[in-house]
Amino acid sequence: MDITYRKTRNGQWVAYGPADAITAGTVVTVTKKNGETKEEYIESVGRPFEVNGVKMVYGYIGRAPVNESQVVGLDDFFGGFVMGAEPVGRVRVSDLPAAPKRRKPRGRMCDACGERRGYIEATDMSGLAGLICGVCDRSGGLSFA
């Protein structure tokens, strides 16, 4: 029986297959839906369960241990030249920083609690205008100051 991918309830992709074919600390060949195969490192294995008389397991996919082919010096990575820097040792290529993520615009929200839905324009007792959601409106004591 082939080892395939499955998605767990919490959304994590795992290798699914016979218990005798998937063991922790090994690399297995996983077959995709389109028939292609991919090598995956199995970090840990879940409890065995039975399907049609065959013991099956979920193999939790992780990063393989570091070997020399995955490690480079920063000076090697930057072509032998890092401006104004001393060599700092060796790192995994995959550990180098990714590009920063862009933030979404904040938009309009309740001034009291930050809720983004169901807000209305309101004024407090001193006449200051602002936005407030239905929950904060019912609680009373509105103050935008």
DSSP string, 21-48: T--TTEEEEEE-TTS-EEEEEEEEE---
Residues 6+ apart with CB under 8 A from 129: 121, 122, 123, 144
Residue 97 confidence (pLDDT): 64
The pLDDT averaged over each successive group of 10 residues in the chain (145 residues) is: 89 93 92 93 92 94 68 50 51 60 67 76 78 75 60
Residue 104 confidence (pLDDT): 60
Q: How far is residue 140's CA from residue 110's CA, in Å, rounded to a whole number?
A: 14
CA Rg value for the chain: 27
Tell me 93's DSSP state.
G
Q: How far is residue 30's CA from residue 36's CA, in Å, rounded to a whole number?
A: 8
Residue 64 confidence (pLDDT): 74
Beta strands in the chain (DSSP E): 4-7, 13-18, 26-31, 37-45, 49-51, 54-62, 71-73, 90-92, 119-123, 129-133
Residue 31 confidence (pLDDT): 94
Residue 36 confidence (pLDDT): 93
Residue 82 confidence (pLDDT): 47
Residue 38 confidence (pLDDT): 93
Q: How far is residue 99's CA from residue 111's CA, in Å, rounded to a whole number?
A: 32
Write down the residue that tokens 């205008």 correspond to.
129
